[in-house]
Amino acid sequence: MDSSLLSAPIASIGVPTEIKADELRVALTPDGVKELVTKGLEVRVQAGAGAGAGIGDEAFADAGAKLVKREEAWAAHLVVKVKEPQEEEFGLLRQDMVLFTYLHLAAYPKVGEALLNAGTTGVGYETVQLENGSLPLLAPMSEIAGRLAAQVGAHLLERPHGGRGLLIGGCTGVQPARVVVLGAGTVGWNAARLAAAMDAEVMLLDRSPERLRSLEARRRGRLISVVNSRGLLERLIPTADLLIGAVLTPGGRAPTLVDEEMVKQMKPNSVIVDVAIDQGGCVATSQETTHTHPTVTIHGVQHYAVGNMPGAVPFTSTEALVSVTLPYILGIAGRGLEEAVTERPELLSGLNTIQGSVCHPGVAKALGLPPRHPMACLR
């Protein structure tokens, strides 16, 4: 095993064009490129990679990037992306490469297998976790996805979009829609507060009373927070017009809080937005959809489960993503992965695979493989 890649600075950074369905974000902005190039690093951007986010090749070139073909971007020793590698990209994975991107291996075990077979070191944005439990590289996309969940849900409740024909906030003298949000983390809170701002009646559920207490002072409108239980879900879900799934166990598969029987009890043409689909989804009947074909109707309920929701707003989400990933990219490339982990210990939990081993306990459990301690893999 060649461990020099992990202990030495990485001189070349590649930014390929995203190829997941309807994914329009790009992993670096021209300002981000400039920061890296100023530090003496080489940044190779695939020509056209920024088009979806409104960033032209010229802007990248002016910032100091080399515009290259796909294979050259992937040939870099640090490849930064937005989404997990797609099957067409599996052949481009190598051992002498650190891949820094959203991986969501619990939901995409084939990607895990490909990384392990190739011996690629995969650092997942979504499992980089600070000591206080927060997820700094997931948070901005969760903010965006939460807000989108309320917007999309409101839209899907309208009759021409397949919904029951409800205005989410009702109107004077007429009851608003009832929105049930499962999980009061970043996605859940943002979805709930936007739905409440649209005058919906919102029930926000979480297993953690402490989390709900921390939100108390910020609660506005018709927003009620409750600690969830199976019995409560059984009573509440049949009353929901819009159900939003937003629970997470970092690295692991999302718990199935809503089984098929509960879905059958929902009102005809009600809506489920399962944001947690990128970790497998928290509704038994959810299956991943795309922005082009965003919904499927199962038991009379519209299911929206797009795995890359922020991809719909690439102008907003590219900036937001790079604002949090850039310091880590600088650290990994400028000082090497080992030293970057020492400087920013939260990176340790970002390590999902290292040269053929799984090294995140949640990911390992989801993949049914034994975890190795990341420090043991690094050294």
Q: Which residues are catalytic?
A: 104, 278
108 counts as binding ligand PYR under rule CB under 6 A: no
Q: How far is the CB of 190 from ligand NAI (least distance, A)?
A: 8
Q: Count Cβ neighbours within 10 Å for each residue of 149-186 and write b for 16 or more, e otherwise.
A: bbbbbbbbbeeeeebbebebbeeeeeebbbbbbbbbbb
Binding site for NAD(+): residue ranges? 142, 206, 211, 247-248, 275-278, 306-309
Count other Cβ atoms within 10 Å, centred on residue 109: 16
For residue 137 the two structure tokens come to: 């590289």
Nearest to 36 by CA among 65, 57, 9, 7: 65
CA-CA-CA-CA torsion sign (10, 109, 323, 375)? negative
Report, in Å, the least distance between residue 226 CB and ligand PYR: 26
H or E stretch covering 101: strand 98-101
- Judged by beta carbon distances under 5 to 8 A according to partner kind, the member of ligand PYR, ligand NAI, none in contact with residue 102 is ligand PYR
- The phi, psi pair for 302, rounded to 5°, reads -75, 125
In the complex, minimum distance from the CB of residue 126 to ligand PYR, in angstroms, rounded to a whole number: 6
Of 240 and 321, which has the nearer Cβ to ligand PYR? Answer: 321
Among 308, 318, 352, 355, binds ligand PYR (CB under 6 A): 308
Between 310 and 362, CB nearer to ligand PYR: 310
Angle at 143 between CA 298 and CA 242, to 5 degrees: 30
Residue 163 binding ligand PYR, by CB under 6 A: no
Give residues with Cβ within 8 angstroms of 251, minimum separation 6. Answer: 105, 106, 124, 126, 127, 349, 352, 360, 361, 362, 363, 366
Distance CA 207, CA 228 (A): 5
Reference 276, options 306, 234, 318; nearest CA is 306
Our finding on whether 251 is near ligand PYR (CB under 6 A) is no
Rounded to a whole number of angstroms, the minimum distance from the CB of residue 312 to ligand PYR is 10
Residue 149 interacts, among ligand PYR, ligand NAI, none and using kind-specific CB cut-offs from 5 to 8 Å, with none
| Residue 154: closest CA among 191, 205, 183 | 191
Is 276 near ligand PYR (CB under 6 A)? no
Residue closer to ligand NAI (CB basis): 225 or 355: 225
* Least CB distance to ligand NAI at residue 243 (A): 13
- Site membership for ligand PYR, residue 310 (CB under 6 A): yes
Q: Which of 43, 141, 223, 263 binds ligand PYR (CB under 6 A)?
A: 141
Q: Is the dihedral of CA 127, 136, 94, 27 positive or negative?
A: positive
* 279 sits near ligand PYR (criterion: CB under 6 A): no
Answer left, alpha or beta for residue 27, where phi above 0 means left and psi between -120 and 50 means alpha. Answer: alpha
CB of 203 to ligand PYR, least distance (A): 24
Instruction: Work out what residue 280 binds among ligand PYR, ligand NAI, none; the CB cut-off runs from 5 to 8 Å by kind.
Output: none
30 or 183: whose CB is closer to ligand NAI? 183
Name the residues that contact ligand NAI, by CB under 6 A. 126, 135, 138, 141-142, 145, 183-188, 206-208, 211, 228, 246-249, 254-255, 257, 275-279, 306-310
Q: Which of 58, 28, 25, 57 minimizes the C-alpha distance to 43? A: 28
The annotated binding site for substrate is made up of: 25, 83
Question: Should residue 340 be labelled a site residue for ligand PYR when binding is judged by CB under 6 A?
Answer: no
Q: What is the edge-to-edge ordering of all strands in the sheet holding 295-298?
A: 223-227, 201-206, 178-182, 242-245, 271-274, 301-304, 295-298
Residue 278 as a binder of ligand PYR (CB under 6 A): the answer is yes
Which of positions 56-95 make contact with ligand PYR (CB under 6 A)? none
Q: Which residues sit at the interface with ligand PYR, rule CB under 6 A?
A: 102, 126, 138, 141, 278, 308, 310
